[in-house]
Amino acid sequence: MIPMDLLPGAARWRGSLAAVLDHPGPVWVYGAGGTGVSTVGAWMAVQRNDGFLDDADRLDAPALVAWIAGHPRGVLGAHAGPETPALGEPVSRCLAFRLQALEEDPGQVGPCLAALADQDGWREPLPGALAALPCPGNLRGLRNRLVRWRLLGQAPEPPAPGGLDLPLETEDLAANLHVLERLLLHRALRRSYGNRVEAAGRLGVSRRQLYLLIARHGDPVRGEPPSNAGPKRLHRHRG
């Protein structure tokens, strides 16, 4: 568990905690997955001497009405904001308290990573690539990065200097799309540390489509070369 003072955005919202705790009605704590919603929500509930309902956005409006009625000073944790129409009008009565993602407070990536390593008893220096953004999954993704590096020695691919730079050598559309396809595939495989199910999800393709892409472009994480030369139209622009 990351200390609350190290959570992304804590420096901004720490000063408003006293007012939130004194609020007479329910509080809706929300943020992206892995931003500390459960940690902050549970702590607030204890301080407010009332209940904590995690994953509150999974309930329908009648269930939320019933829970809030029984916990007038309760804390509800969710990934959706209180303005979400499907949550119903009762949630709009809650005081909204949003938690930020790591991408919104990149200065906390390093401290959070160090705290996670310390909790796991890891004292050796960490490679700088582990703290590189983006970090999908926020704190969960950061912990997964640490575990994968410790177990497999795999660090995420560092961001390319200057942003996206495609090595396009021709104006032919088919050739350029082939290069872009390879770049996106290899980046997804590296960022998922070779986990092909995760890579397919990142790319928005099926597992079968992913294996076809790997056959065409290879897998840089597992060291597999391409086994399919790709569409014939590409060969006109090679050599």
* 51 shares its domain with 14: yes
CATH number, domain containing residue 82: 3.40.50.300
Q: Is 212 contained in some domain?
A: yes
**What tokens appear for 90 in the block?**
């009762």
Q: What does the radius of gyration of the chain's CA atoms come to, in whole angstroms?
A: 23
pLDDT score at 233: 54
Residue 169 neighbours by CB under 8 Å, 6+ apart: 175
- Mean pLDDT across the stretch 79-85? 88
Q: How confident is the prediction for the chain on average, in pLDDT?
A: 83
Q: Is 214 contained in some domain?
A: yes
* 8 shares its domain with 91: yes
pLDDT score at 229: 64
Q: With 90 as the cut, is the pLDDT of residue 22 above it?
A: yes
Q: Is 160 contained in some domain?
A: no
* 30 shares its domain with 111: no
- Mean pLDDT across the stretch 207-218? 92
Q: Is 228 contained in some domain?
A: yes
Give dist(CA 108, CA 124) in Å, integer: 20
Give dist(CA 31, CA 104) in Å, integer: 12
- β-pairing verdict for 75-78 and 27-30: parallel
- Confidence tier at 85 by pLDDT (50, 70, 90): confident
* 15 shares its domain with 91: yes
pLDDT score at 162: 42
* 30 shares its domain with 95: yes
Q: Is 22 contained in some domain?
A: yes
Residue 166 neighbours by CB under 8 Å, 6+ apart: 176, 179, 180, 183
Q: Which of 63, 89, 73 is nearest to 27 (CA)?
A: 73
**Percentage of the chain lying above the pLDDT 70 cut:** 85
Q: With 70 as the cut, is the pLDDT of residue 177 above it?
A: yes
Q: Is 40 contained in some domain?
A: yes
Q: Is 229 contained in some domain?
A: yes
The residue segments making up the domain with residue 227 are 173-237
* 13 shares its domain with 92: yes
Burial class (CB in 10 A: 0-12, 13-18, 19+), 105: middle
* 65 shares its domain with 91: yes
Q: With 90 as the cut, is the pLDDT of residue 48 above it?
A: yes
* 10 shares its domain with 92: yes
Q: With 80 as the cut, is the pLDDT of residue 3 above it?
A: yes
* 142 shares its domain with 206: no
* 180 shares its domain with 201: yes
**Percentage of the chain lying above the pLDDT 90 cut:** 34
Phi, psi of 58 (to 5 degrees): -90, -10
Any idea of the CA torsion for 222, 134, 212, 195, to the nearest 10 degrees? 50
* 59 shares its domain with 140: no
pLDDT score at 45: 97
Residue where the block lists tokens 């309930």: 59
- Confidence tier at 59 by pLDDT (50, 70, 90): very high
- Count up the domains in the chain and report the number: 3
CATH number, domain containing residue 225: 1.10.10
pLDDT in tens, 116-175: 888 888 777 777 777 777 666 688 888 888 887 777 666 666 555 444 445 566 677 777
